[in-house]
C-alpha cells in the first residue's frame, strides 16, 4: 500500500506539472535575450552607439565594392576628355569581355538601340522613343571612352546606368558597343 501511495503521488505531481504547460511559449528560458531580442528602429536614438544614432555615415574616403569613382566630371569638357580615354579592362580577355558585354547590352541597351546598334530597337520601332542614332553615324565620333561616359552619366533622353551596372560591366558594354560600331561600318 505504501508503494501505491508513492506511485499515486508521483503520478499526481506529473499531471499537475504538465497541465500548466503552454506549447506556444517555452516554459524555461535559460538565456531570454536569445529568444526575445531587442529591436531598434533605423535612424532612431540608441544610447550605446557613437553619436546616439543607429545609422551612421561610412568612414571618410571609402569606396563601395564593385564601384570605382569616375574622375571625369559631367560637363561638355568632361565629355571631350572621355573621348580620349581607353578601356582599362585586360586586353587578354577580349572575348570574355565582349561576351559579357553582349549579354548586358541585350538586357539594358538593345530595347532602344537595337541588337545591331542601328538605332532600331523595339521601342523605336513602336515609336515610343524617337531619335536614337545608329552607332555607325560618323557625326557622333563614338569612342570607347565616350560610350562609357554616356553609360555612366546618361545623355539626352537616355538615363544613367551607373546604378544598374558596376564599373567593369559598364566598360564591357562600352567595348561591345565599339564592336557593334565596327560591324556596322564594314
Domain boundaries, the chain: 76-185
Which class in CATH covers the domain with range 76-185?
mainly alpha
* Amino acid 152: pLDDT: 92
* Amino acid 177: pLDDT: 92
* Amino acid 1: pLDDT: 63
Helix axes of 144-153 and 76-83: crossing angle, nearest 10 degrees: 140
Buried b or exposed e, range 82-96, using 16+ CB within 10 angstroms: beebebebeeeeeee
Q: Is the pTM of this model over 0.85?
A: no
Which residue positions in the chain have pLDDT lower than 50?
A: none
* Amino acid 57: pLDDT: 75
CB 172 within 8 A of CB 101: yes
Q: How far apart are the first and last CA of the chain?
A: 109
* Amino acid 125: pLDDT: 87
* Amino acid 29: pLDDT: 66
* Amino acid 27: pLDDT: 63
CA distance 58 to 46: 18
Amino acid at each position: 500500500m505504501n508503494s501505491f501511495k508513492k506511485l499515486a503521488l508521483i503520478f499526481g505531481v506529473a499531471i499537475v506539472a504538465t497541465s500548466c504547460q503552454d506549447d506556444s511559449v517555452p516554459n524555461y528560458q535559460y538565456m531570454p535575450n536569445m529568444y526575445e531580442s531587442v529591436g531598434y528602429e533605423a535612424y532612431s536614438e540608441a544610447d550605446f552607439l557613437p553619436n546616439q544614432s543607429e545609422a551612421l555615415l561610412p568612414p571618410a574616403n571609402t569606396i563601395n565594392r564593385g564601384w570605382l569613382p569616375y574622375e571625369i566630371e559631367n560637363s561638355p569638357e568632361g565629355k571631350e576628355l572621355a573621348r580620349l580615354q581607353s578601356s582599362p579592362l585586360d586586353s587578354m580577355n577580349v572575348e570574355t569581355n565582349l561576351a559579357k558585354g553582349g549579354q548586358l547590352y541585350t538586357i539594358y541597351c538593345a530595347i532602344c538601340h537595337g541588337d545591331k546598334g542601328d538605332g532600331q530597337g523595339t521601342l523605336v520601332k513602336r515609336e515610343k522613343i524617337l531619335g536614337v542614332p545608329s552607332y555607325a553615324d560618323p557625326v557622333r565620333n563614338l569612342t570607347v571612352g565616350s560610350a562609357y561616359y554616356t553609360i555612366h552619366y546618361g545623355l539626352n533622353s537616355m538615363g544613367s546606368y551607373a546604378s544598374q551596372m558596376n564599373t567593369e560591366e559598364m566598360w564591357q558594354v562600352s567595348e561591345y558597343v565599339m564592336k557593334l560600331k565596327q560591324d556596322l561600318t564594314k
